[in-house]
């Protein structure tokens, strides 16, 4: 039996299953006499304090054993314990309704989940997992448990962990040294478990939906974290093939480690700039480790997600300046707020279809202040290094003019105030809406650079919701419409002498990265761990040959045929043993 999910951490692992099952603890509503209300408030406060101590201990352990870049997760959890939307509201419910703390927490959880569900940004929507983790811990401590839910004490041996999901604190406490691989019913690329698994080099597949029901405890399974497959009780020949693939992966990983100091240049001397996408400031260290030549996309929504409030100008200056200092002398490209109305003003009107609704630059028409603050911070931070500003969700020239006018107004403000800032900060945009792609030649006249956000652009071009399992198979990065659109954007950039980069997932796939290169893209931004493989592929080809293959693919009618053509013509580069040599 073979199950298909989403591979979020590459590698192959073979082992026996350790199955994690969830037990739902019922929460009852109890009416309290008036004299018991304040005692119940104190009981909640004690449970919160115990939870805070536990979370701080987990954070310290993560910083010590895995590294600072992953301990930030628990800063967000600790902040939740201070958030008046959460605990002050729970205390108010206890006092107003004379109910027990467990019921008050459940009520608050339902209210906040309704708010999270309205968020248009997928990353922020998934932060509801953090909410469940924190409130679940407080509920356990209300019940008098001495220990929070933990997978720190696994049985002897090593296992493939199969679970419905892993909360961030469960993932942090997990005895990873006994885990060969992880397979989850739920999850996505941005789940904290996926981030940790990639950091630790442990294969992981998520989004399996019903693996916990279909895989029996103790079964022998193979987890392929690159393809997103889980094979249950494979045959002897299949198992032998998997083990051979394991050894090949081990040898390839060792070779790829040697690419950090090598130039990203083809056999005939054409260079490609490889940069890293970053969700959090601490990922700069990881980007440098993998040889990134800059941050091609910093998703500034991290600053909103941690505290659920708009950060001040000074807070933002500190974050952007810190990024620049870590990446020096390489550039950092910051994408301005890509959020919807619920993030801007919780409780405000929501869009029936957030993907097509009022978000990012469209919110300037309603309230420019958060963007004004961010742009001031970016211009000031740019005095300390090569920072670039990238504008998201531009539909056409009028959107761009509105943003550029605001930037010019802010420059004037900073001059009058005598603030130190950089006058000539490069301003560009991310092309992710078809109308912007079709007017790329008009947009290129006004900006310093163009970046193609293939994740959204493909979704809009093909009318496919990439996270909807019913149609996600129709999401085809190599669809001829996608390749032709990229070709046209590159041509528009070349006509106006404006560089064009790609910062979507296409850039992280060696095969797709090569076809982008063949179409004229010379800057690619991806997850840091993807850089060595893409670099090795680039170093294994001749630019002239890849250009010829890519242009030929423009006349091939289906994505499947295009992929077959690419794999046949570029097979040698996709086995990069020779490409890592000087």
What does the buried/exposed string (b/e) look like for 163-194 if buried means 16 or more CB atoms within 10 Å of the residue's CB?
A: bbbbbbbbbbbbebebbbbbbbbbbbbbbbbb
Other CB atoms within 10 A of residue 151 CB: 20
List 192, 229, 330, 479, catalytic entry = 192
Q: Which of 478, 579, 566, 572 is nearest to 532 (CA)?
A: 579
Task: Count Cα neighbours of 291 within 13 Å in the Cβ-side half-sphere.
Answer: 20
What does the buried/exposed string (b/e) look like for 405-435 if buried means 16 or more CB atoms within 10 Å of the residue's CB?
A: ebbeebbeebeeeeeebbeebbbbbbbbbee
List 229, 330, 503, 553, catalytic entry = 503
Please confirm, yes or no, whether 192 is among the known catalytic residues.
Answer: yes
What does the buried/exposed string (b/e) look like for 203-224 if buried means 16 or more CB atoms within 10 Å of the residue's CB?
A: bbbbbbbebbeebeeebebbbb
Residue 395 DSSP SS3: coil
Q: How is the chain split among helix, strand and coil, in percent rounded to 5? A: 55, 15, 35
Please confirm, yes or no, whether 503 is among the known catalytic residues.
Answer: yes
Token pair 């008050």 in the structure block, residue: 104
Residue 249 DSSP SS3: helix
Residue 159 DSSP SS3: strand
Alpha helices (runs of H) in 166-282, residue ranges in sequence order: 168-173, 192-200, 211-214, 236-256
Instruction: Say if CB 13 and CB 245 are below 8 A apart.
Output: no
Helices 89-97 and 37-65: crossing angle in degrees, nearest 10, is: 160
Enumerate the active-site residues: 192, 503
């Amino acid at each position: 039996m073979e199950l298909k999910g989403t591979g979020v951490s590459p590698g192959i692992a073979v082992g026996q299953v350790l199955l994690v099952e969830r037990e739902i603890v019922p929460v009852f509503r109890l009416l309290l006499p008036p004299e018991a209300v304040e005692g119940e408030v104190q009981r909640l406060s004690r449970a919160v304090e115990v939870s805070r101590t536990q979370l701080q201990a987990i954070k310290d352990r993560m910083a010590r054993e895995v590294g600072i870049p992953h301990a930030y997760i628990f800063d967000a959890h600790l902040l939740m314990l201070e958030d008046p939307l959460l605990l002050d509201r729970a205390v108010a419910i206890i006092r107003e309704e004379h109910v027990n703390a467990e019921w008050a927490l459940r009520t608050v959880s339902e209210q906040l989940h309704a708010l999270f569900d309205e968020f248009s940004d997928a990353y922020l929507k998934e932060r509801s997992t953090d909410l469940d983790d924190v409130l679940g811990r407080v509920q356990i401590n209300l019940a008098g448990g001495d220990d929070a839910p933990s997978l720190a004490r696994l049985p002897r041996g090593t296992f493939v962990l199969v679970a419905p999901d892993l909360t961030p604190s469960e993932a942090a406490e997990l005895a990873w040294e006994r885990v060969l691989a992880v397979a989850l019913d739920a999850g996505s690329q941005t789940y904290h478990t996926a981030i940790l698994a990639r950091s630790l080099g442990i294969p992981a597949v998520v989004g399996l939906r019903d693996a916990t029901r279909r895989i029996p405890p103790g079964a022998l399974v193979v987890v392929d974290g690159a393809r997103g497959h889980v094979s249950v009780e494979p045959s002897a020949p299949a198992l032998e093939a998997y083990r051979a693939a394991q050894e090949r992966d081990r040898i390839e990983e060792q070779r790829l480690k040697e690419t950090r100091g090598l130039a990203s240049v083809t056999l005939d001397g054409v260079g490609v700039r490889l940069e890293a996408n970053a969700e959090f400031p601490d990922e700069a260290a990881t980007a440098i480790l993998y040889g990134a030549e800059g941050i091609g996309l910093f998703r500034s929504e991290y600053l909103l997600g941690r505290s659920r409030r708009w950060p001040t100008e000074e807070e933002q200056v500190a974050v952007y300046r810190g990024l620049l200092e870590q990446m020096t002398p390489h550039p950092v490209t910051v994408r301005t707020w890509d959020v919807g109305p619920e993030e801007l003003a919780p409780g405000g009107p929501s869009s029936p279809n957030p993907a097509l609704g009022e978000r990012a630059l469209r919110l300037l028409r309603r309230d420019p202040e958060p963007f004004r603050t961010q742009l001031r911070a970016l211009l000031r931070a740019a005095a300390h290094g090569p920072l670039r500003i990238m504008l998201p969700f531009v539909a056409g020239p009028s959107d761009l003019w509105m943003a550029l006018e605001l930037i010019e107004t802010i420059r004037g403000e900073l001059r009058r105030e005598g603030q130190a800032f950089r006058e000539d900060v490069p301003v560009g945009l991310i092309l992710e809406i078809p109308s912007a792609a079709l007017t790329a030649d008009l947009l290129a006249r006004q900006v310093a650079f163009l970046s193609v956000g293939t994740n959204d652009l493909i979704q809009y071009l093909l009318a496919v919701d990439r996270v909807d399992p019913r149609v996600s198979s129709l999401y085809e990065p190599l669809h001829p419409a996608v390749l032709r659109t990229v070709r046209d954007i590159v041509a528009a950039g070349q006509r106006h002498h404006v560089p064009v980069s790609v910062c979507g997932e296409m850039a992280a796939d060696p095969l797709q990265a090569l076809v982008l290169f063949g179409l004229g893209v010379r800057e690619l931004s991806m997850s840091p761990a993807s850089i060595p493989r893409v670099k090795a592929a680039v170093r294994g080809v001749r630019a002239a040959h890849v250009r010829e293959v890519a242009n030929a693919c423009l006349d091939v009618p289906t994505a499947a045929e295009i992929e077959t053509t690419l794999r046949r013509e570029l097979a040698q580069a996709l086995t990069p043993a020779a490409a890592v040599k000087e």
